[in-house]
Amino acid sequence: MTWKKFSGEPIRKPLLDEVGLAISKEYALGNKLKVCIGTDSQVKGNITDFATVIAFIREKKGGFMFIHQEKTLLKMSIKERMLAEVQRSIETAYALCDLLDQYHVDLEVHADINTNPMFKSNQALHEAMGYILSMGFVFKAKPEAFASSTCANKMVQ
């Protein structure tokens, strides 16, 4: 899986190493961090573009993110696509959770799913919430899910 920084610079080391270095650097600067992971997708013709972000939020000092993008030709219903987004976020969170625990960094998994039943994405809300919570992660949905609905969204537009 290829990750990059927001600047577009590729991450050449294994993701776990790069995240560990980023956390160490931020702690050395005296910053307290929280990590929020989210995925968004957009259908463009026959292609579905997915973007997963790891947003590192510095307490009262902004943040930065790592990004992974992928495309698929697989046709999906809205519910399948929402759950595919959640799966990508959970896989990333699961890969990082031991390292984040080691550094005492709080972790949230953000789902780009609307809590308002008037929106199509809402049909995946209960499954997504159950999936994320059953994995032991903190769950956030719109409007609180900025990692997916804002950060990742910018990468699939």
What is residue 114's predicted lDDT score, i.e. its pLDDT? 86
Give the pLDDT band (50/70/90) at residue 123. confident
Q: Which two tokens stand for residue 8?
A: 């577009």
CA 53 from centroid of its chain's CA atoms: 4
75 backbone dihedrals φ, ψ, rounded to 5°: -80, 135
What is residue 11's predicted lDDT score, i.e. its pLDDT? 96
The predicted model gives 73-77 an average pLDDT of 93
Q: Give the H or E element holding residue 126.
A: helix 125-134
Cα atoms in the 13 Å half-sphere on the side-chain side of 65: 22
Q: Which domains does the chain have, with CATH numbers?
A: 4-156 (3.30.420)
What is residue 122's predicted lDDT score, i.e. its pLDDT? 85
Per-residue pLDDT at 128 exceeds 80: yes
Tell the residue number behind the tokens 């005492």, with chain if given: 104
Q: Which two tokens stand for residue 152?
A: 């990742």
The predicted model gives 62-87 an average pLDDT of 95
pLDDT tens for residues 26-47? 999 999 999 999 999 999 999 9
Per-residue pLDDT at 157 exceeds 90: no
Q: At what angle do helices 15-28 and 78-102 cross, to 10 degrees?
A: 60
What is residue 95's predicted lDDT score, i.e. its pLDDT? 97
Q: Which two tokens stand for residue 103?
A: 């550094």
Q: Which residues pair with 67 in a beta bridge?
A: 4, 53
